[in-house]
Amino acid sequence: MFVSVVALISRILSNPIANFFQKKLTVMESSLTVNFWSYFFMAVLCLPFIKNNQITGYSGDFYLYVILAGLLCFLGTICLIKALSIGELSVLGPINSYKSIIGLIVAFFILGEIPNIKSFIGFFLIIGASFLFVDEKGKFILNKSVLLRMLALVFTGVEAVILKQIILMSSPMVSFIWWAFMGFIFSFLFALINKKLKPNSIKTVQTCFIIGVLLSIMQLSTNIVFENFNVGLSLALFQLSSVVSLFLGFRFLNEKGILRKTTGTIIMIIGSVLILLK
């Protein structure tokens, strides 16, 4: 249990801090370049662990899940980095609560699950709290950065379910190794096709190393949490990352509306928990 708690805390802190560095870096770099170099370092960090972990000899379904998870993670990360480049961290962090609504809708149309009263209350709490995040033009849902963040949530939400299956078929470390390498392959191919491999400065590479370390901690800790808790409970606890995003946005990026956004974030977290812990 101690390891799970440490992993949970690591997950809550590492993700928003990585997002902070991603946002800072996109001022001078393409999202494809940032994504490629971040995954490059994550893949390098995995190399020492390959020897002591069985990464081959699994079923065909396992490798299909691995490829799909890698693609979904790449797409989700690209959408997120692009959103961060044009949006506010203190808005895009709390928007993670919409993952709960996406899961609710998917469960209704694909699995035929009927939402209960708590889920409906959570749904309307999140929607209502969204109005506390409107920009100076009165836009929220029509904001491009928010739409990109929503799309990222769709990709990563499906990825989370697939990762849980990969972990059950192997282990958190094996899942992490394959996740990193598949993400690297997809990010390399897309950056190569778009001629975005070369960074503009050595500072980009250094910052991407930091991002790679943080995302490695994030994903490995996520896998450990998924191994010990169900996906719904895990995602509910991960909502606490929104608070860290708020702090980073206000303290280091000079983003405005602290009281309004903090209130909205708390309401969204409550709504998300009601949905996820139905």
pTM of this structure: 0.85
CA distances from 40 to 29, 90, 209, 223 (A): 16, 28, 9, 20
pLDDT in tens, 46-56: 999 898 888 88
| CB contact at 8 A, 89 and 255 | yes
Which of the pair, 43 or 93, is modelled with greater confidence?
43
| Average pLDDT estimate for 226-245 | 80
Which of the pair, 233 or 85, is modelled with greater confidence?
85
Q: What are phi and psi of 106, to 5 degrees?
A: -60, -45
Q: Is the pLDDT of residue 130 over 90?
A: no
| Average pLDDT estimate for 26-43 | 93
**What is the percent of the chain with per-residue pLDDT over 70, rounded to a whole number?**
94
Q: Is the pLDDT of residue 244 over 80?
A: yes
Band (pLDDT 50/70/90 cuts) for residue 136 is low
Q: Is the pLDDT of residue 139 over 70?
A: no
pLDDT in tens, 66-91: 999 999 989 999 999 999 998 889 88
| Rounded distance between C-alpha atoms, residue 70 and residue 180, angstroms | 8
Token readout for 142 is: 């029509």
Q: Closest by alpha carbon to 256, among 172, 122, 134? A: 134
Band (pLDDT 50/70/90 cuts) for residue 138 is low
Question: Hey, what amino acid is at 231?
Answer: V
Interacting residues of 119 by C-beta distance below 8 A, sequence separation 6+: 104, 274, 275, 278
pLDDT in tens, 96-121: 888 778 777 766 776 577 788 988 89
CA distances from 144 to 46, 92, 140, 147, 179 (A): 35, 11, 9, 5, 28
| Rounded distance between C-alpha atoms, residue 211 and residue 224, angstroms | 20
pLDDT recorded at residue 154: 86
Which of the pair, 109 or 124, is modelled with greater confidence?
124
Query: Burial, 249: exposed, middle or buried (Cβ in 10 Å; 0-12, 13-18, 19+)?
Result: buried
pLDDT in tens, 159-195: 877 888 898 899 889 998 999 999 999 999 999 999 9
| Rounded distance between C-alpha atoms, residue 173 and residue 177, angstroms | 6
| Rounded distance between C-alpha atoms, residue 30 and residue 39, angstroms | 14
pLDDT recorded at residue 104: 76
| Rounded distance between C-alpha atoms, residue 269 and residue 94, angstroms | 8
| Average pLDDT estimate for 12-17 | 94
Least confident of 15-24, 100-109, 152-161: 100-109
Q: Closest by alpha carbon to 8, among 234, 213, 173? A: 234
| Average pLDDT estimate for 228-247 | 81
| Rounded distance between C-alpha atoms, residue 246 and residue 92, angstroms | 9
- Please give the tally of structural domains in the chain: 1
pLDDT recorded at residue 258: 86
Q: Provide the residue range defining the domain that includes 146.
A: 2-276
Three state DSSP letters for 53-84: CCCCCCCHHHHHHHHHHHHHHHHHHHHHHHHH
Q: Is the pLDDT of residue 235 over 70?
A: yes
Band (pLDDT 50/70/90 cuts) for residue 227 is confident
Q: What are phi and psi of 127, to 5 degrees?
A: -60, -45
Q: Is the pLDDT of residue 36 over 90?
A: yes
Q: Closest by alpha carbon to 214, among 21, 4, 47? A: 21
